Structures are given as structure tokens and as C-alpha cells.
């Protein structure tokens, strides 16, 4: 069958996205290669469509059981003959699958690398293999963050199956990891497909850290009923935030390595299978979650690096609908993170690498321009225009000439001896009366009380930016104490030879008002309140209720039945007959046959009220 026909009939999608068409054509012509596409970019179709166009079975190697299971369920819903073999499959079911395979009755077979290498290669050798897809291919490399030794041996596929196309796919591989993948998987002859790493539907919002709990609750207030992830750094903070959210009436579960395996499994299951669950997690959570309708990812602590930030935020909005990546950041985080690195016991070189990564992250957080431009630049991609969908684009006019306050800040650091942290120096600038000021006689300094034009929060932000830009240095062995950075930077500013434009948060009094406004604009894109113009929220709710019921009966996640995107489109178009329903993106032939009548009935209002609430 022609690939476009497969796309329409089986998956119910109108057109290929980005480089999909090119990749599929390449594979259908017998080519191999490496595909780098961001999360949610649509990697799966790159091998699923060829699997249905070519004769024989496509073998997909995947390291994650949950992910395999989801994909197999979704494919079966679309009427595709798919199965998975891994450690969680009962022996009896396994034998049935192997029989199907031998008889050529499988379009796709998902295998763990262990299973493949433990004697399964021989079994595949006599069969017609359409292609091999190696998912999460970065696992091949020690440079990547999820090295799996078995992946290294997958190079044998090239020798044992020279005729079968091999496609390696990943969402995270820096150039070094890419080289490793090409070498290890013997893909040097193949092509490299790089999609843009931009995720335009994700709105990046970064807020100055205040009372985090209340900031988070305010952010979530607009998002009741939506699924999301809240990342915190430590187990105790995870437990604490999960408790606070539950107390505020949110359906929140904790997830970290300190919990029993069974508790973790349940948290994961609920998150995947129910709608509107919030997982509060350490970074241990997320790998292998391909839930498409995660509407927000919130960081209450800074992530480790920009790579980690990109990956963690990338779990939002895989379905392409509006999603929000929200983060609070404060100066207090940075010395602590630096200390973690210093005390990690890693080799010196490794520590330097980690410190460098942290610097890049701070630079991103503090940079005065468009978030997306800075983020993509870090990954080697230039975005020509500011994105219009990050806090700095949406709330412009936030940089101003702050040369004078910056000079005052530097002078105060100098006059107090370049050894105090920002808090004390700010006390001096504001003319405070603290024990420390009295103890050190700082009340008599020329800089005492010269900074009353800004409030404390504004000064804090200014110090943070001066630090991020290198004017001030905060050494971990100084316990957060500040000293001057490079002379070439500091001197011209102090002498009045150079100016400085920085961002300034609104004064504390106004913060509440404008804060609410900003939260409101965020929800427009992400919240259920942000349904497209003219869509009946009751119909959406009825369709979701029906979907949840279906999902429960079949024991699959709701999005396997229909994605949110499809539900919204149905509610928008209000199809009256099967032909009109078939036009909706995500409604393929199998789903039309299976669910068409029921969906049309919901649309017609026949059973809308009888389902459970969503
Ligand atoms: P990845 O594995 O790259 O993270 P997926 O393959 O899971 O991404 O695809 C992300 C989402 O986009 C899925 O919900 C998928 O059904 C959808 N999708 C992929 N390709 C298309 C397309 N051409 N048209 C419409 N939706 C698509
Ligand atoms: Zn922007």
C-alpha cells in the first residue's frame, strides 16, 4: 500500500509531519539511517507506516516495557497486527505470539534488546523481516544519559540481516552521541534525519521564586483536571508538595526512588490511565512515559542542566496541543546545586563539565531575550524570530537601563569586603538595621541606604542577573558570598564606560495584580477554559466521559481510544454521519468501525449524560 494511504486509512491522519514523508520514502527504498526528532515529533510513524507498506514483520527494539505496551495497544486499536515480547508477557501468550510471528501474521513485533539477543536472532533469521527499528537509540552510547550495555550489541543486526533497512530513533543525542550511534549500530552508510527541536506548542514561563507553594497553587488553579508533572529536587520536597496539592484538592501522587516499587507502579498506572492526575516527582520519573496529553510540566527547583530541562519539559504536549512548561527559580538554588556537584565525589573533570552545564542553565534563566531562542541556540539551532510564546515574549518591556543600580550593587559588594552574600549586601543598600550591619559597622559605609529606589525582590533579581552575566561570582567555598568577576567586565561598568540593560520584576506591591494577569494568559492556551472558540464544553466533557468508560472497559489509557486532539476536533466539527467522522484527524478505518456509532450518538446528544463525569 502507498504510505499516504496507510496514514489516512489506518491512522486517520491527513498528512505527514516534518521529515516523516522523507524518512518513510527512504526506508521503503531499502535505506537505513538515524532519526533525531524531538519528543512528540512523530517518530513512531516513521517505522509503523513502512511496517504496513512492506512485506514481512517489522521488528522494533525498545528498552521500555510500558512504552511497548502502549504502542501495541494503540496499534491494535487501529487494526494493526502488533505484539510485544518482553519479561512481563506470560509464557503461554509468548508462545502464541511466536507462532503468529512464524506464520507471518504480525505486522509489528516489539522486543526488548535482552530478548532479541538471548537467542531470538536465530528465530528471526528464517523469516521475512520488513525492517528493524531501534527506538531510544541513545541508549547505545555512554555519552548519553541512559546507557544500556545490550544496545551496544545491536550492531550484529547489520551483519545478520544485511538486506533489512535499519532505523535508529532518538529524541536526545548530542553530536558525540550521534557519532556513537552511527558507529555502534553500523549506520555509517545510512542517512541522518534531523528534525527541528523546537516544540512550538510548549509555552515557557519562568518566574522568580517567592513563596513556591502558593506560586504553584496559583499556577495550578487555572488547570484543575489537567494531567501534569511537578518536578522537585529531593524526596522530601516531593512528598511535601504532593501533600500540599492533595490538601488543596488536587489529585496528586508522589513518585521517587524512596517509595516501594508497588507504590511507584500504581502512581505511574494512575497517571497513564486516568485523566487529570498530577505526579510530583524527582527526576527519576519520566523516562518511557509517552502519555500524549500531559498539559503542564512544573519545576519547583532548577533542573540539573539545560538538557535535563529540555527533556523534562518535553514531556508536555506531545499531542501538539497547547502545553505549559513553568518554572520558578531563585538565587538560593544555585549555590546549593554547585555544592551538590562539588560534593558528588566525581572526578574533577566531570565536576567541571557539570558546573559548566549549570552555568548554561543559569544563563538561559537569566538571559534577557526570548527563552526559545536561547534554548534552541544551545542545541545548535537558530530561531530567526522571537517565539511569541514564552514569558519574555509575552511580557515584553522587561529589560531596562539599570546601569546605575548595577553600579551601586557592585560598589556595595566592594565596600563590604567582597565576602557577604546578596542578602546582607541588599540590607546595606536598603539601609536596614540588622545585627550584622551593626556588628560590622556597615551603617557608616558610603553605600549604606543608597538603594531605596528598588525593593528587596528587585535587588535580588538584579544580583542574580549580575551573577549570571559574570559581573559577580559566587563561589561555593564562600558559602554564597559574592566577589567581583572578571576585571574586563566589572571595571568599565564601575567607571561609567559601559552600560547594562537588565530585567526587573515589578515592585512587590504590584506583583499580585500583574501576577494574576500573567497566569490568566497562560491558561488560555493550556487550560480546559481555553477550548477553541465555538466548542461546546459539555460535548467535550461527554465525549471524554464516553472515552474514559471505553478505556476502563478495555483496560487501556484513554488516549489509546482517541487523543484529546481528536476529541476536540469531533466536538468542533460535530459530525453527523460516519463519512464526516472519518474526516476527523485520528479516526482511521478500524476506529471508525469500532467506535463510530457510539461517538455519533454522543455527538447527537443521545448518551451524553449517562457516562461518568470525566
Ligand atoms: P515521538 O515518539 O516522536 O515522541 P509519537 O510517535 O508518539 O512521537 O507521536 C506523537 C504524537 O503525534 C502521537 O500522538 C501521534 O499519533 C501524533 N502524530 C504523529 N505523526 C502525525 C501526523 N503525521 N499527523 C497527525 N498526528 C501525528
Ligand atoms: Zn519567546
**Ligand number nearest to the C-alpha of 395:** 2
| pLDDT of 352 strictly over 80 | no
DSSP state letters, 273-309 = HSSS-EEEE-TTS-TT---TT--EEEESS--SSHHHH
Sheet of strand 166-170: strand arrangement: 82-85, 108-111, 57-61, 129-134, 166-170, 33-36, 191-194
| pLDDT of 488 strictly over 80 | yes
The pTM score is: 0.67
Mean pLDDT for the stretch of residues 334-357: 78
- Contact 563 CB / ligand 1 (< 6 Å): yes
Task: Give the C-alpha separation, 419 to 473, whole Å.
Answer: 10
> What is residue 527's predicted lDDT score, i.e. its pLDDT?
37
- Contact 50 CB / ligand 1 (< 6 Å): no
Our mutation pick for probing the ligand 1 site, out of 42, 290, 311, counting the most ligand atoms within 8 A of Cβ, is 42
Q: CA 9, 10, 13, 18 torsion: positive or negative?
A: negative
Distance 606 CA to ligand 1 centre (A): 32
Query: CB of 128 within 8 A of CB of 57?
Result: yes
| pLDDT of 164 strictly over 50 | yes
Mean pLDDT for the stretch of residues 34-49: 93
> What is residue 383's predicted lDDT score, i.e. its pLDDT?
87
> What is residue 512's predicted lDDT score, i.e. its pLDDT?
39
Who contacts 169 (Cβ-Cβ below 8 Å, separation ≥6)? 34, 35, 36, 37, 43, 46, 47, 133, 134, 135, 136, 137
- Contact 70 CB / ligand 1 (< 6 Å): no
Mean pLDDT for the stretch of residues 402-423: 93
Distance 170 CA to ligand 1 centre (A): 14
> What is residue 533's predicted lDDT score, i.e. its pLDDT?
67
**Ligand number nearest to the C-alpha of 288:** 1
| pLDDT of 288 strictly over 80 | no
Query: CB of 561 within 8 A of CB of 544?
Result: no
> What is residue 154's predicted lDDT score, i.e. its pLDDT?
94
Atom of ligand 1 nearest to the CA of 37: 3
**Ligand number nearest to the C-alpha of 202:** 2
Query: Could you tell me the pLDDT band of residue 80, with boundaries at 50, 70 and 90?
Result: very high
> What is residue 240's predicted lDDT score, i.e. its pLDDT?
97
- Contact 205 CB / ligand 1 (< 6 Å): no
Query: CB of 207 within 8 A of CB of 216?
Result: no
What is the maximum alpha-carbon separation in the chain? 90
* Average pLDDT in the chain: 86
Q: Which of 69-83, 482-496, 522-536 has the highest mean pLDDT?
A: 69-83
Distance of CA 532 to the CA centre of its chain: 24
Residues in the chain: 614
Who contacts 211 (Cβ-Cβ below 8 Å, separation ≥6)? none
Distance 274 CA to ligand 1 centre (A): 20
- Contact 318 CB / ligand 1 (< 6 Å): yes
| pLDDT of 372 strictly over 50 | yes
**Ligand number nearest to the C-alpha of 45:** 1
Atom of ligand 1 nearest to the CA of 15: 23
- Contact 290 CB / ligand 1 (< 6 Å): yes
> What is residue 183's predicted lDDT score, i.e. its pLDDT?
93
> What is residue 397's predicted lDDT score, i.e. its pLDDT?
63
Query: Could you tell me the pLDDT band of residue 135, with boundaries at 50, 70 and 90?
Result: very high
> What is residue 613's predicted lDDT score, i.e. its pLDDT?
39
- Contact 43 CB / ligand 1 (< 6 Å): yes
> What is residue 251's predicted lDDT score, i.e. its pLDDT?
96
The C-alpha cell of 76 is what?
Answer: 491494535
Residue that wins the pLDDT comparison between 95 and 535 = 95
Quote the percentage of the chain above a pLDDT of 90: 52
Of the candidate ranges 81-90, 283-292, 406-415, the one whose mean pLDDT is the lowest: 283-292
Query: Could you tell me the pLDDT band of residue 612, with boundaries at 50, 70 and 90?
Result: very low
Distance 313 CA to ligand 1 centre (A): 17
Cβ burial, residue 168 (10 Å; 0-12/13-18/19+): buried
- pLDDT 10s digits, 237-271: 999 999 999 999 999 999 998 999 999 889 988 99
Q: Say whether 451 sits in a helix, a strand or coil.
A: coil
- Contact 45 CB / ligand 1 (< 6 Å): yes
| pLDDT of 189 strictly over 70 | yes
Atom of ligand 1 nearest to the CA of 135: 2
What's 394's DSSP letter?
H
The C-alpha cell of 332 is what?
Answer: 538560593
Task: Give the C-alpha separation, 318 to 489, whole Å.
Answer: 42
**Ligand number nearest to the C-alpha of 37:** 1
Query: CB of 463 within 8 A of CB of 406?
Result: no
Distance 372 CA to ligand 2 centre (A): 5
Task: Give the C-alpha separation, 502 to 524, whole Å.
Answer: 28
Atom of ligand 1 nearest to the CA of 559: 14
Task: Give the C-alpha separation, 504 to 576, whole Å.
Answer: 54
Atom of ligand 1 nearest to the CA of 46: 6
| pLDDT of 529 strictly over 80 | no
Of the candidate ranges 82-86, 141-145, 458-462, the one whose mean pLDDT is the lowest: 141-145
Of the candidate ranges 116-125, 298-307, 489-498, 531-540, the one whose mean pLDDT is the lowest: 531-540
Q: Which of 463-467, 500-504, 578-582 has the highest mean pLDDT?
A: 578-582
The C-alpha cell of 43 is what?
Answer: 517518530
Task: Give the C-alpha separation, 540 to 408, whole Å.
Answer: 56
**Ligand number nearest to the C-alpha of 374:** 2
Mean pLDDT for the stretch of residues 378-396: 86
Mean pLDDT for the stretch of residues 343-369: 79
Instruction: Name the nearest CA neighbour of 485 among 418, 429, 424.
Output: 418
Instruction: Name the nearest CA neighbour of 412 among 470, 366, 362, 471.
Output: 471
What residues flank ion ligand 2 with Cβ within 5 A? Answer: 370, 372, 386-387, 390, 393
Atom of ligand 1 nearest to the CA of 585: 25
Distance 606 CA to ligand 2 centre (A): 45
Distance 44 CA to ligand 1 centre (A): 7
Atom of ligand 1 nearest to the CA of 39: 4
| pLDDT of 333 strictly over 60 | yes
> What is residue 238's predicted lDDT score, i.e. its pLDDT?
96
Task: Give the C-alpha separation, 426 to 107, whole Å.
Answer: 66
Amino acid at each position: 500500500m502507498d504510505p499516504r494511504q496507510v496514514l489516512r486509512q489506518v491512522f486517520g491522519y491527513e498528512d505527514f509531519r516534518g521529515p516523516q514523508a522523507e524518512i518513510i520514502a527512504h526506508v521503503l527504498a531499502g535505506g537505513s539511517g538515524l532519526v533525531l526528532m524531538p519528543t512528540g515529533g512523530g517518530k513512531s510513524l516513521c517505522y509503523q507506516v513502512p511496517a504496513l507498506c512492506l512485506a514481512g514483520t517489522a521488528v522494533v527494539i525498545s528498552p521500555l516495557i510500558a512504552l511497548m505496551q502502549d504502542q501495541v495497544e494503540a496499534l491494535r486499536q487501529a487494526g494493526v497486527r502488533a505484539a510485544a515480547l518482553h519479561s512481563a508477557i506470560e509464557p503461554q501468550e509468548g508462545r502464541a505470539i511466536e507462532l503468529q510471528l512464524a506464520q507471518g501474521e504480525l505486522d509489528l513485533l516489539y522486543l526488548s534488546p535482552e530478548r532479541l539477543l538471548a537467542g531470538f536472532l536465530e528465530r528471526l533469521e528464517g523469516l521475512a523481516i520488513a525492517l528493524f527499528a531501534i527506538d531510544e537509540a541513545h541508549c547505545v552510547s555512554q555519552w548519553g544519559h541512559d546507557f544500556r550495555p545490550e544496545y551496544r550489541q545491536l550492531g550484529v543486526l547489520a551483519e545478520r540481516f544485511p538486506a533489512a533497512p535499519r532505523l535508529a530513533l532518538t529524541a536526545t543525542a548530542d553530536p558525540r552521541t550521534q557519532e556513537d550511534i552511527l558507529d555502534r549500530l553500523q549506520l555509517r552508510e545510512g542517512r541522518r534525519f534531523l528534525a527541528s527541536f523546537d516544540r512550538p506548542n510548549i509555552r515557557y514561563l519562568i518566574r522568580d521564586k517567592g513563596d513556591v507553594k502558593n506560586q504553584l497553587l496559583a499556577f495550578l488553579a487555572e488547570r484543575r483536571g489537567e494531567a501534569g508533572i511537578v518536578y522537585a529536587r529531593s524526596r522530601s520536597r516531593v512528598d511535601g508538595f504532593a501533600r500540599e496539592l492533595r490538601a488543596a484538592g488536587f489529585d496528586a501522587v508522589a513518585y521517587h526512588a524512596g517509595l516501594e516499587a508497588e507504590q511507584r507502579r500504581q502512581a505511574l498506572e494512575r497517571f497513564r490511565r486516568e485523566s487529570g492526575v498530577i505526579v510530583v516527582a524527582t527526576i527519576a520519573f519520566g523516562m518511557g512515559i509517552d502519555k500524549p496529553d500531559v498539559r503542564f510540566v512544573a519545576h519547583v527547583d532548577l533542573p540539573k542542566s539545560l538538557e535535563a530541562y529540555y527533556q523534562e519539559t518535553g514531556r508536555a504536549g506531545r499531542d501538539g496541543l497547547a502545553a505549559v512548561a513553568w518554572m520558578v527559580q531563585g538565587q538560593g538554588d544555585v549555590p546549593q546545586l554547585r555544592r551538590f556537584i562539588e560534593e558528588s565525589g566525581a572526578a574533577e573533570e566531570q565536576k567541571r563539565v557539570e558546573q559548566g552545564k549549570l552555568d548554561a542553565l543559569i544563563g538561559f534563566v537569566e538571559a534577557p531575550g526570548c527563552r526559545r531562542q536561547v534554548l534552541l541556540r544551545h542545541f545548535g539551532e537558530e530561531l530567526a524570530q522571537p517565539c511569541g510564546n514564552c514569558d519574555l515574549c509575552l511580557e515584553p518591556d522587561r529589560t531596562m537601563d539599570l546601569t546605575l543600580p548595577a553600579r551601586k550593587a557592585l560598589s556595595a559588594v566592594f565596600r563590604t569586603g567582597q565576602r557577604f552574600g546578596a542578602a546582607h549586601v541588599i540590607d546595606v543598600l536598603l539601609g536596614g538595621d540588622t545585627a550584622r550591619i551593626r556588628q560590622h559597622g556597615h551603617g557608616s559605609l558610603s553605600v549604606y541606604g543608597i538603594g531605596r529606589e528598588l525593593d528587596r525582590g528587585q535587588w535580588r533579581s538584579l544580583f542574580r542577573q549580575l551573577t549570571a552575566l559574570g559581573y559577580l561570582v559566587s563561589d561555593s567555598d564562600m558559602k554564597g558570598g559574592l566577589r567581583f568577576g572578571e576585571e574586563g567586565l566589572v571595571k568599565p561598568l564601575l567607571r561609567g564606560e559601559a552600560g547594562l540593560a537588565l530585567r526587573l520584576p515589578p515592585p512587590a506591591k504590584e506583583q499580585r495584580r500583574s501576577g494574576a494577569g500573567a497566569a490568566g494568559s497562560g491558561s488560555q492556551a493550556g487550560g480546559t477554559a481555553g477550548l477553541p472558540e465555538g466548542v461546546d464544553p459539555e460535548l467535550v466533557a461527554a465525549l471524554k466521559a464516553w472515552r474514559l468508560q471505553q478505556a476502563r472497559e478495555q483496560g487501556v489509557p484513554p488516549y489509546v481510544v482517541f487523543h484529546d486532539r481528536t476529541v476536540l476536533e469531533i466536538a468542533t466539527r460535530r459530525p453527523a454521519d460516519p463519512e464526516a467522522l472519518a474526516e476527523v484527524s485520528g479516526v482511521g478505518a478500524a476506529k471508525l468501525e469500532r467506535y463510530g456509532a457510539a461517538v455519533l450518538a454522543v455527538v447527537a446528544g443521545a448518551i451524553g449524560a449517562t457516562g461518568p463525569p470525566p
